[in-house]
Amino acid sequence: MSELKNDRFLRALLKQPVDVTPVWMMRQAGRYLPEYKATRAQAGDFMSLCKNAELACEVTLQPLERFELDAAILFSDILTIPDAMGLGLYFEEGEGPRFRKTVRTEQDVADLPVPNAASDLDYVMNAVRTIRAALGGRVPLIGFSGSPWTLATYMVEGGSSKDFRTIKRMMYAQPEVLHALLDKLADSVIDYLNQQILAGAQAVQIFDTWGGVLSTQHYQAFSLNYMKKIVAGLIKEHDGRAVPSILFTKNGGQWLELIAEAGANAAGLDWTIEIGDARKRVGDKLTLQGNMDPSVLYSSPAAIRAEVARILESFGAGEGHVFNLGHGIALDADPDHAKVFVDAVHELSAQYHR
């Protein structure tokens, strides 16, 4: 594999010195870019785009052509594992992901196969290899998965949910069934992420999108414990380099100290927590990633720069910060404003890395 020309993202995750704060954006390859819409139209639909290695590579690289980003992230979906378990993933226009089959009983869980990521999800690994080759060492490639809890919410509810009543009913009435499902998912995620690493992913992120809907004790028992299991099972070094991991629980700022003990290299923060306070709480235990509200991109270029400056000042001098949005970039964000954001991070952060 080619040498990395820009490794500041990986260095920041390992709390090593960098010249400027690295930056990437969750959902940086996506619907806010007109070129993405054109490629998706060419593919026909979202899953066809995910399963075509060349087109998945094309959309992964599109934001790097516009912005000076410090990382690329694999173009895929968090629900690939449940799909490989035979639940029949499809997308309703304007409704988001849906499954043809749900998982609601002990027998349903017992019947679920644990996918072999190398063969059952070979299209993902093909995309990783294709993207890694196309990057040519330009920036590192991030692989990812949904967390077991987040995957389980879609599998039990049958799609997106506003109140999560079906899975919460299972959690309270049949906790052993839910634990069996989460354990199976954790094993699947370990294999899935390790195969991504072997295929060329140089860092991995676990998206715990719905962990924040739980109480503290249930977050620990039904979400964090399974992410800990995954982190413990990950390949830690490949191709002569450490492979760092990031845990991102949306609305999880109140549990930062617990997340810091989970073994990952970094915690992703949404915008509901002040990053300076977060740094005080966890000290030098791990890197912090985040955390500008994506809606700031609706404001003026001057206001975007001011908010970037404020967050950098809040974090302060020293290492261990990866700048990101606090969640995915909005589908109607102005790409020119995203460029202002990325450029401002590099320009304004140099003073904090002397």
Which candidate, 258, 84, 51, 262, places its Cα nearest to that of 185? 84
Q: Which of 77, 122, 183, 293 is catalytic?
A: 77
Which candidate, 285, 292, 268, 117, places its Cα nearest to that of 203? 268
Annotated binding site for substrate: 27-31, 77, 154, 209, 327
Catalytic annotation on 305?
A: no
257 contacts: CB under 8 Å, gap ≥ 6: 281, 282
60: region left, alpha or beta (phi > 0 left; psi from -120 to 50 alpha): alpha
Catalytic annotation on 32?
A: no
31 contacts: CB under 8 Å, gap ≥ 6: 37, 40, 331
Catalytic annotation on 27?
A: yes
- Burial (CB count within 10 angstroms: exposed 0-12, middle 13-18, buried 19+), residue 158: middle
Catalytic annotation on 187?
A: no
Which candidate, 193, 163, 133, 185, places its Cα nearest to that of 2? 133
Q: Which of 32, 154, 192, 226 is catalytic?
A: 154
CA distance 121 to 115: 8
Annotated binding site: 27-31, 77, 154, 209, 327
Catalytic annotation on 165?
A: no
Q: Which of 8, 11, 27, 132 is catalytic?
A: 27
> How do the residues of the chain divide into helix, strand and coil, expressed in percent and rounded to 5?
55, 10, 35
Which candidate, 207, 50, 199, 81, places its Cα nearest to that of 144? 207
217: region left, alpha or beta (phi > 0 left; psi from -120 to 50 alpha): alpha
CA distance 156 to 102: 5
- Write out the catalytic residue numbers: 27, 31, 40, 77, 154
